[in-house]
Amino acid sequence: MSSKTMTQVCLEVPAQTLRLVLDLVKTLGGRRIEPGDGQQAVHVAPPLSEAERVGRMLRGARLRAGLTQSQLAEKIGVPQSHISEYEKNKRNIPPAKAEELAAVLHTVAGHFQRRDSI
């Protein structure tokens, strides 16, 4: 990937969360740059489209909650295929379902709504 599509960020996180943060960076398509020449570690991730951001936010929140797609679907009253399509950016999440997802996953509905459609 060219550096034009990447953003470099310096992060400070609690030691016990470092593995989780590094896994998330990798999941989002980023990589860890090892410190060298006195530099601190920098984690790089590519920019995401709004559709990708919403799908990845949902998948990440679902996995953090320890739920399968089927379990989450049952909790919000949709078929499992809808959760899969939400996560793969093949179906937009209706505002009412975004609210339900937020309640179940203990977050805010804005995580599951595209900013370019709000």
Contact 2, 38 (CB under 8 A): no
Q: Rounded mean pLDDT of 29-43? A: 65
Task: Select from 44, 20, 16, 15 the least CA-distant residue to 32.
Answer: 44
Angle 28-53-113 from CA coordinates, rounded to 5°: 155
Q: What is the pLDDT of residue 19?
A: 83
For the chain, residues classed under CATH 1.10.260.40 are 50-117
Range from 4-13, 18-27, 79-88 carrying the lowest mean pLDDT: 4-13
Q: Bridge-partner residues for 100, per DSSP?
A: none
| b (16+ CB within 10 A) / e for 18-39 | eeeebebbeeebbeeeeeeeee
Architecture label for domain 50-117: Orthogonal Bundle (1.10)
Q: Rounded mean pLDDT of 77-106? A: 96
Range from 21-30, 58-67, 79-88, 97-106 carrying the lowest mean pLDDT: 21-30
Mean pLDDT of the chain: 83
* Three-state SS at 22: helix
Is the pLDDT at 3 greater than 50, yes or no? Answer: no
Cα-flanking dihedrals φ and ψ of residue 51, to 5°? -60, -45
Q: What is the pLDDT of residue 84?
A: 97
Q: What is the pLDDT of residue 35?
A: 64
Neighbours of 89 (CB within 10 A): 17
